[in-house]
Amino acid sequence: MIDVESADKNIREEETENSQDISSEAQFDPKGKPLDGDGEAKEADPGKEQADDPEADSGSADAGDDAKVKKHGDKRAAHKSEKDAAEELKKLIAEKTERLQRTMAEFDNFRKRTEKEKDARFGMGERNVIEKILPVIDNFERGFAGLDDASMEDPFVKGMDQVYKQLKGILEDMGVKEIPAKGEKFNPDLHNAVMHVEDENFGENEVVEVFSKGYLYKGTVVRFSMVKVAN
């Protein structure tokens, strides 16, 4: 006769062992994720996965290197832009300086040319006045040449003599000088020979007589001396 109680006890013990074997084995869902005690899939620890994943570490390092390269590139680009701006400014300053110097030089040349032209016009005006006064001086001298010492004491003659001397003084102040002639060697740059004479008492090409006095104005001949020259 079979013992029912013993058989039932053996069955329960086998079921308990099977249950312990199943619980001791790792449980996973169909996608391979581990299950917790309630049969739910366990969420992976991001920090642990990142720490355990060498490719993730490599990607992070590459990203850091890319950021450094980009930052260095930005610095180089900024430095190049500043350098280009400085070169452009330097070039602009050089152009402006050259233009200013050229303008100043042109203005200085214009000023000198204007002053020279003004002096030339002023000198030409003075020369014209001098040329018109010289015949008056000649007339005074011709008139005084025909008077003796007694006549020179006449009050009227003395007055004319004062006018003559005043005119001579004005011309001298203006830079007019008489050209030396009588007794000098003939100089074609200063003298105009209108007559020649053979006379052994004078040297060759010596001026023996002056018909009309010559004058210089600031070193330039205003009027040549009209003279007689010995051959």
Query: Domain for residue 167, yes or no?
Result: yes
Question: Residue 121's pLDDT band (boundaries 50, 70, 90)?
Answer: confident
138 and 170 in a single domain? The answer is yes
Domain boundary among 157, 174, 191: 174
Query: What's the number of domains the chain is made of?
Result: 2
Mean pLDDT along residues 165-185: 92
Structure tokens belonging to residue 215? 């004058």
Residue type, 155: P
Q: Are residues 167 and 84 in the same domain?
A: yes
pLDDT at 65: 59
Range of the domain at 101: 70-174
> pLDDT band at residue 119, thresholds of 50, 70 and 90?
confident
CATH assignment of the domain containing 105 = 3.90.20
225 shares a domain with 164: no
Cα–Cα distance for residue pair 218/120, rounded to 1 Å? 12
Q: 108 and 194: one domain?
A: no
Residue 203 lies in a domain: yes
Residues 197 and 154 occupy one common structural domain: no
Residue 202 CB: number of other CB atoms within 10 A? 16
**7 within some domain:** no
Report whether pLDDT(64) > 50: yes
Residue 132 falls inside a structural domain: yes
The whole-number pLDDT of residue 109 equals 92
Residues 20-44 pLDDT 10s: 544 444 455 555 555 555 555 555 5
Domain check: are 98 and 167 in the same one?
yes
- What's the pLDDT band for 46 if we cut at 50, 70, 90? very low
The answer to whether residue 103 sits within a structural domain is yes
Asked if residue 215 belongs to a domain, the reply is yes
Query: 36 Cβ partners below 8 Å, 6+ apart?
Result: 42
pLDDT tens-place string over residues 200-220 = 888 888 999 999 999 999 888
Q: Are residues 97 and 167 in the same domain?
A: yes
| Domain assignment of residue 228, yes or no | yes
The helix (run of H) or strand (run of E) holding residue 163 is helix 155-173
Shared-domain flag, residues 129 and 198: no
Residue 116 CA to residue 83 CA, distance in Å, equals 49
Residue 6 lies in a domain: no
Average pLDDT over residues 51-62: 51
Q: Are residues 98 and 149 both part of a single domain?
A: yes
Point out the domain boundary residue: 129, 150, 174.
174
Average pLDDT over residues 58-83: 64
Report whether pLDDT(60) > 50.
yes
Last residue of a domain, one of 155, 174, 193: 174
- CA 208/CA 182 separation, integer angstroms: 6
